[in-house]
Amino acid sequence: MDLRVEDRADRIFGVLRLAAVPLVAASELYVSHPHETPTRFWVAVGAFAVYAVAALRPPAQHRWLLTAGDLFFAGALSFASGGGFSQFRFGFVFAPLASAFRRRPLVTFSASLAAAAIYLAQALAHPSRTERADAESFAAIQASYLLWIGLVATGLSALLARHERELERLGDARQRLVAEAMAAEERERKRVAEVIHDDAIQHLLAARFELAAAGPSEHVERADRVIGETVAHLRRTMADLHPHLLERAGLAAAARAAGERAAARGGFALDLRCSIPPGGGNEQVLLRSLGELVANAASHAHASHVMAVLERRGGDDVLRVADDGVGFDPAVLDGRIDAGHIGLLSLRERAEALGGRFALETAPGAGTSVCLSLPPRPQASAPSTAAAKAASSAAVPMLQAATAAASRPRASASPTLADGAGQPRKRPRLS
């Protein structure tokens, strides 16, 4: 059961409970009651006001105390203001209705029985019962109405509980479908990356070898340089399609490599920290999301500094990325799909489909901060922590060296790519 929904329901009913305090006071001031006991009544109103304020923030694990408190004060205030004829007799429906919106049919039915019993008990015990011949029948009819309203509340609670179970079932099915779609996408990406490696790159390297037999010339050197640049580009495309480094060295190394590629393209300084241990099951999603966010910073933010943090917090895997770029108006995010900008929207949909949360903070001229939180998911296999750390320390330099070697012509070294970061305007903050 979603506790956040229960929290919202408790807050709403807390405000309604507090609003009942002046209403109860007004009923005593402007409506006469048989056998009034003003001192006892105002003491009960004061205690009820204190309870209503305290109930604005109820203990999450003891919500039954709210039901018990509502029934107790309904009985106390009714007995102090006329017994069975009290205007506050209508307050007995509050406890069953509040229980109904917590989606607990059994608790709602029990609260309904208790409300009718407490009303009937205090009505028959009140001195006003002897002043009217129909007092007992009046109390019985009122208790019957309370039972009827309680049955309605119980039916509403059962419908809400069934609706919640259906939503949970649909949510679980959606998560499974998204996970299967992502797995299929990764398999296809891996297949394409293998085709690039085994066919396209190998053919280009073979052509480069054949060029060596043609002897040195300006045309041969130019063709050799173009082949080298193409091979380097294909290797980067392979890394984007399927991060083999993630499988071999873990998330930290793969995230570092992806971030450095984006920083080189966008010309910004990158501050990246990763402390997520292996085995959370979200490594692929986090790496794809990080790549999308730093790519956005490189393409649209015009940032000079980007901070990215991957951490395990509260049992969830959390990715936070902030830049000091131009920012944008978050109100136009949903409308950007018409212009073909679906990156952030796809991240939000993916996170929500996996049971996570997506938070965006941005404004024109104020940079952009994105926080992605995902619950842990089962994973078939994951590298051990020691193996991941050991491979991470060696795999990143190896990957950079391999890329540089592929892009270097056979006879002369190609110029290196400058990072172009410059001095950052300001360091973005991650809250």
pLDDT digits (tens, 9 = 90+) for 94-150: 999 988 888 889 999 999 999 999 999 999 988 888 777 888 899 999 999 999 999
Higher pLDDT, 291 or 383: 291
Average pLDDT over residues 234-238: 80
Is the per-residue pLDDT at 338 higher than 60? Answer: no
pLDDT value for 336: 58
Which residues of 204-304 form beta strands (DSSP E)? Answer: 269-274
- CATH 3.30.565.10 maps onto the chain at 250-394
Is the per-residue pLDDT at 341 higher than 90? Answer: no
Q: Name residues whose C-beta falls within 8 Å of residue 214's C-beta, 6 or more positions apart in sequence.
A: 220
Q: Which of 160-164, 181-185, 259-263, 357-361 has the lowest mean pLDDT?
A: 181-185
Higher pLDDT, 272 or 338: 272
Among 79-88, 193-202, 306-315, top mean pLDDT goes to: 306-315
Is the per-residue pLDDT at 313 higher than 50? Answer: yes
Q: Which stretches of 267-384 are DSSP H helices?
A: 283-296, 343-353
- Choose among 187, 19, 8, 186: nearest CA to 94: 19
User: Please, what is the average pLDDT of the chain?
Assistant: 78
Strand-pair category, 368-374 with 316-323: antiparallel
Class of domain 250-394: alpha beta
Is the per-residue pLDDT at 193 higher than 70? Answer: yes
Is the per-residue pLDDT at 213 higher than 60? Answer: yes
Residue 407 banded pLDDT, cuts 50, 70, 90: very low
Instruction: Give the integer Cα–Cα distance in Å for 337 and 331.
Output: 13
Is the per-residue pLDDT at 398 higher than 50? Answer: no
